[in-house]
């Protein structure tokens, strides 16, 4: 099979067709549908992967599963997925008449620099509002910081692992810090600044993009999803606290 540069052919169908709902090609479709229409466990509507923007990518074994660009993400089928070989970065499957998500180099940054296995990009309004509030109140290079909110315990503290390979999560009295990068005209042009933010904040599992949204990654799909949920809850809470005149960082 000719791989690089060719449209997909039937030889690549086995990469995306599976009865297993946990198969990455099925999971991306399920997650994007949920992100679009369903309530999170906090009973809120979550419409962050909307108007074709946002999305998710999964690294599974030697393969990366990527959604097409510019499509209605909630209507995708498993056979719409691109599949890349992680090692060679060559496409094993390229569906006709679409390009891979413009987020691909950003998803790849989390896989290569952080050994993540799932990365989620949302255009959450709470994420966007937080980037604007931080800029106005703390300056253009400040990160979003918050502490003493129970939900930060859903976010890993760093990339250290204990003897059993387990990650430690932030404690209630510790501080969550999420770097913010400036938006660019094209999604892929965010790659350098996202990687710079990952270097500057070596413990972070997320990067906010001013006036745009957020990238959140995790060791697996479950962790990326729950961390994304926790962060979205925290961003919304901080915005609402600010509206009530409550500082989201305790004064003492």
48 to 67, contacts with Zn ion by CB under 5 A?
53
Q: Is 51 in the site for ligand MRU (CB under 6 A)?
A: yes
Nearest approach in angstroms of CB 146 to ligand MRU is: 25
Asked if 218 interacts with ligand MRU (CB under 6 A), we say no
Six-digit token pair at 15?
A: 């990469």
Measured CA distances, 148 to 63, 151, 243 (Å): 39, 9, 18
Angle separating helix axes 221-243 and 125-138, nearest 10 degrees: 50
Binding-site member from 76, 81, 84, 103 for ligand MRU (CB under 6 A): 103
Query: Could you say whether residue 113 binds ligand MRU (CB under 6 A)?
Result: no
- How do 180-181 and 206-209 pair as beta strands? parallel
Applying CB under 6 A, which of residues 11, 13, 62, 70 lies at the interface with ligand MRU? 70
- Tell which residue, 56, 62, 156, has the closest CA to residue 106: 56
DSSP-based helix, strand, coil % in the chain, nearest 5 = 35, 20, 40
- Site for Zn ion contains 100 (CB under 5 A): no
Number of residues forming the site for ligand MRU (CB under 6 A) = 12
Asked if 203 contacts 120 with a C-beta cutoff of 8 angstroms, the reply is no
Single out the segment in contact with ligand MRU by CB under 6 A; choices: 47-55, 77-85, 109-117, 237-245.
Answer: 47-55
- Which two structure tokens, joined as six digits, stand for 88? 């060679």
The stretch near ligand MRU (CB under 6 A) out of 50-58, 77-85, 150-158, 174-182 is 50-58
- The residue ranges that bind Zn ion (CB under 5 A) are 53
């Amino acid at each position: 099979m000719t791989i690089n540069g060719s449209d997909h052919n039937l030889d690549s169908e086995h990469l995306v067709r599976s009865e297993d709902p946990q198969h990455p090609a099925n999971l991306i479709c399920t997650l994007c549908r949920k992100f679009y229409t369903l309530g999170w466990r906090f009973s809120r509507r979550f419409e962050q992967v909307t108007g074709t923007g946002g999305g998710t990518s999964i690294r599974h074994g030697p393969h990366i599963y990527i959604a097409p660009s510019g499509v209605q993400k909630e209507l995708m089928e498993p056979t719409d997925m691109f599949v890349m070989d992680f090692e060679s970065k060559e496409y094993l499957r390229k569906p006709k008449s679409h390009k891979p998500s413009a987020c691909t180099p950003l998803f790849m940054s989390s896989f290569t620099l952080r050994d993540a296995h799932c990365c989620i990009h949302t255009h959450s309004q709470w994420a966007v509002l937080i980037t604007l509030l931080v800029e106005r109140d703390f300056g253009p290079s400040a990160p979003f910081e918050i502490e003493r909110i129970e939900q930060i315990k859903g976010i890993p503290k760093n990339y250290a692992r204990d003897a059993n390979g387990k990650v430690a999560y932030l404690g209630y009295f510790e501080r969550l810090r999420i770097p913010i990068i400036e938006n660019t005209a094209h999604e892929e042009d965010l790659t350098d600044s996202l990687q710079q933010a990952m270097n500057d904040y070596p413990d972070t599992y997320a990067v906010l993009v001013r006036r745009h949204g957020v990238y959140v990654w995790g060791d697996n799909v479950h962790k990326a999803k729950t961390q994304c949920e926790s962060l979205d809850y925290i961003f919304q809470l901080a915005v609402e606290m600010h509206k009530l005149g409550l500082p989201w960082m305790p004064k003492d």
